[in-house]
Structure 1
Amino acid sequence: MFLNVNPTLFNIFCGCLTVCLIKYLFNFINRLRKLPSGPWGLPILGYLPLTKKDAYIQMTELAKKYGSVFSFKCGQFDVVVINEVKAIEEAFKNDHLLARPNTTFIPGFERASSLLEMSGELWKQHRRVALTILRNVGLGKSTLETKIKEEIGHFIDVLKSTHGKEVDFKEVIGLSVANNVSILLFGHRFEYSDPMGIEMCCNEKQVSDNVQYFSKMFMPSISFFVSLATQFSSVLRKMTNSQKEIEKKITAEVRKHKAKKATHEIEDYIDGYLQEMDKQKDSGTTGMDTATHVLSFMMLNLITYPEYQQKIRNEIRQTIGLYRQPDYADRVSMHFTMAFIYESLRISTILPLNVHRRASQDTKIMNFFIPKDTIVIFNFWAVHRDPNLWNDPHLFKPERFLSEDKQKVIKSPNLIPFSGGKRICPGATLALTELFLYLVSMLQNFQVSASEGEEISHEVKYAFLRNVEKLAKLNFHILTEN
């Protein structure tokens, strides 16, 4: 049975619908016309289903076809990918490209935004507070370096205790580097056998290994269904549970710090944070540590090219000898060692695509129009592998960071492992300190090699960060004076 509809009202409704549709199509086509060119995708979903697992490689290949700055539709968002260093440098200086997306990386997991995810004035306030607290607890100062050196002492003792037996380097270095973060945040380290320390590392690994760069966050309109799917997807369930477990443990640490707050003594980040909360309402910060991944790549390169071990060890003998523990200040005299570190950062490019940025308003980069709310991606991988910037970019060559006479290390402006501008990683100094001190401490004490019969593989795995797929089991042979 058909409903009786007033013809006049029906015609008005159809007219309004037609006008709205025409307006939508006009705005859509006008916006599309202004955006940089790029690949077409599917209706509604755009290019999202066509993105590959190794998205950074795919973005680099697309740049060869569509240009160094291109765009595509990804779910409900326009995405602009910047693959050229000059354009990225310009984008770093653009305050309209400092915002983050309003959606979460982990569908179905709702929580307060971290400093990494904040935008606008709220982010500016929290960043100022975070940097002040980090300086107060020793970031960039000798006090924190001393604590890192103490942790490295424990790490070296563990390696010495193996007496040349096989070592799972990624596991041991992961626990040690995590302790540096723990010291900074909580004011204490965990013994390597401590169940809580081990569990926190496992939880963090579970999250970082399963967060996909192009994920359901690009389809916020189906977030409800994604939330339901989360309950049944084993990967998503493990990821959200791991994130919740991390936050439970941090909450427990905060409770301990609140209990001693009356002393007003600031020993770590949480102490400073709680004190700041007395002045203004605040919320927590989180971050991902990349030092462990870089050290795994560094170790892979050391066992692949043992001649570099000897070069670094020669600098160690000439600069600090085999007995004095290294200081970060020693890097000034250790040119090849720093060149090795810079090349390791370039060749590994742990974060090949930046944490998503959002245009807070219409803007331009290199005369390319970027509309408001567009997701902007910097392809650091493309920059670090650009043959116009690097000779033989796919080869591991620390010498590229040395002057012609090999007497000076030169850090190229084209090396951008920690992002840049106002959104540069606040832990960049800490990471460089760790990389130098761990590398020098290991080669000061050991000759490192793959265990007999172990295959040296350069395969990587990628979710949000790049990491060595399977690092060979290692032997650490204690050095003698000779």
Structure 2
Amino acid sequence: MEEFQIKFFVLFITSISLLWFISKRLFKPPGSKNPLPSPRSLPVLGNLHQLSLLPHRDFLVLSKKHGPLMLLHFGRVPVLVVSSADAASEIMKNHDLSFADRPRYKAHKKILYNGKDVVFAPYGEYWRQAKGHFVLKLLSNKRVQSFRPIREEETALFVQKIRESSGRAVNLSHMFFKFTYDGVCRSALGRTYSESDKGKEFLVLMMEMTEALGAISIGEFIPWLRWIDRINGFDKKVERIASGLDGVLESVIRERLGNLVESLEEKSEVDFVDILLEIYSEGGDVSSNRDSIKAIILDVFGAGTDTSAVVLEWTMSELLRHPTAMRKLQEEVRGIIGQKQDITDDDIDKMHYLKAVIKESLRLHPPFPLLLPRVATRDVKVKGYDVAAGTVVMVSFWAIGRDPELWDEPDKFMPERFLNSSIDFKGIDFELIPFGAGRRGCPGIAYSMAVIELLAANIVAKFDWKLADGKDLDMNEGPGITSHRVVPLHAVATEVA
């Protein structure tokens, strides 16, 4: 009864407020000389009523009617939706500087130390310095190579767990996430945490963080409805996530500061915390930079765990649905490694079909169906249209990956399309930008792909796979900033003799 009263109260107040605003006709779309195509919107709500929990699918439907550059309104906020490779190139290449900023949402500010990270930080001098540390010190090719022993050990543990399943169905979705989480823990913090109470708590908090950062808070777009976030518990949840993550990271930093004696050259194993502490200690007092260290570590976890796990999950899903592709990949991998137990980087460089499979999986199932949003810092013309400063930009790679003008039979899983193609996912070819492009492109591609390729090669080389129940696989994705399967992937492995 109490729950019903709350819902009724919320509905009543919202309805009265909407009627009041409509009567005052406060919702006025900004005028422009050459406005962008735009579907009809409602006063106050704008186009929010046209969105489901899977907005990338809604955007694809709307873009077919209104075009690859389309202006929506989320409450008072203008939102430019980009749905073609050509239009994405305009935003992230030709006008990259004009769209280099991020919108500043309260969940991002609260969890990520008011913009002290790299992924969501405002564009400016701090962001440039932090990204420089990220690219040159944390995720350079040399550093990625230095973490290979960790990748190999975690991959061997994963393979052993599959062996121990003895032909029983395993939850690959859960195993992929735990695998990437443990690998990032060792690379970032120096040890695994997943088996400890603190580690399990941190793992849950990381999953909740991803969900919170991708949630649509109505108060961000309709300020007078901010009270809804207090009533539905969103504000309290964000506060709890931020506090919990900070507690874990603070304890790691305090422990490490007590042993900050050896230089990086003297240590046998170096992790991200070591590197960041040394970087920020060079400028004097580390304590003044603690929030920066913690925020960047959260970026590493956010980008290195969920993203990689999603790619592995969808890649195996497609291979299980397409036995011919699975056999072709197994033949390639097994033929290259022969009787060897260990797969080297040189081996993986020769696995052209493996790379094609992963590219095709990324095309159909990008970890971010909508690339992380940007915001216009100035008035700018895009393909002849006027885009006002403050407009949020959402690039729908989900739509680009299914564009029939770019891809033959775009809904089909066909890795062969990449075998004789130079198209890559590093931000140069706008047909395939699952990790973004330009200044705000993902700096962790090399780290993630090293993890994904090594594990994928091992599990298809050493096991034959089949679906757990033999039925058709549910390929629907769930809501959130990253695109997980709705139904976890279960499969049965048989070790190859």
Task: Answer yes or no: same fold by TM over 0.5.
Answer: yes
Q: Which runs of 5+ in 1 are unaligned?
A: 1-24
* 1:274 counterpart residue number: 277
Q: Which residue does the alignment assign to 2:256?
A: 257
Q: TM-score scaled by structure 1?
A: 0.85
**What is the CA-CA distance between 1:109 and the residue it aligns to?**
6.5
Query: What does the per-residue CA deviation read over 1:206-234, in whole Å, with 9 as the maximum and x for residues that have no partner?
Result: 332455454325326347524532xx53x
Q: Give the AA of the match of 2:217.
A: S
Counterpart-to-counterpart distance in 1, 2:481 and 2:130: 24
1:127-276 to structure 2, matched below 5 A, reads 127-135=131-139, 138-140=142-144, 142-190=145-193, 193-209=195-211, 211-212=213-214, 214-216=216-218, 218-219=220-221, 221-222=223-224, 225-226=227-228, 228-229=230-231, 232-233=232-233, 237-238=236-237, 240-265=239-264, 267-276=270-279
Amino acid at match of 1:58: D
- Aligned residue in 1 for 2:58: 58
Q: How far did residue 390 of structure 1 move?
A: 0.5
**Shift, 1:401, TM fit:** 0.8
Distance in 1, matches of 2:325 and 2:159, equals 20
Q: Provide the residue aligned with 2:73 in structure 1.
A: 73
SS at match of 1:133: helix
Deviation at 1:317, TM superposition (A): 2.3
- 1:249-328 aligned at under 5 Å gives the runs 249-265=248-264, 267-280=270-283, 282=289, 283=292, 284-285=295-296, 286-287=298-299, 288=302, 289-328=306-345
| Pair 1:67–1:451, CA change in 2 (3 A) | closer
- SS of equivalent residue, structure 2 residue 73: strand
Determine which structure has more spread, i.e. the larger CA radius of gyration.
1
1-structure distance, mates of 2:364, 2:112: 35
- Superposed CA deviations along residues 43-62 of structure 1, whole A, max 9, x for unmatched, are 22322233222111111111
> Given that residues 111 and 238 in structure 2 are in contact (C-alpha distance below 8 angstroms), is that contact kept between their aligned partners in structure 1?
no
> Does 418-427 or 200-209 show the bigger shift?
200-209
Q: Residue type of the partner of 1:125?
A: Q
Secondary structure in structure 2 of the residue aligned to 1:274:
helix
* 1:86-138 CA distance string (max 9 Å, x none): 12112112211010113234698684222222122221121112222214795
User: In structure 2, what is the equivalent of residue 6 of structure 1?
Assistant: none
Indicate the percent of aligned positions where both proteins have the same amino acid.
22
Structure 2: gaps (5+ residues): 1-24
Which residue of 1 is the match for residue 366 of structure 2? 349
Alignment partners' CA distance in 2, 1:307 and 1:110: 44
TM-score normalised to structure 2 length: 0.83
How many residue pairs match? The answer is 447
Once the two structures are TM-superposed, the CA of residue 252 in structure 1 deviates from its matched residue by: 1.6
Amino acid at match of 2:260: K
Question: Does 2:403 align with 1:400?
Answer: no
Report the residue type matching 1:468 in the other structure: R
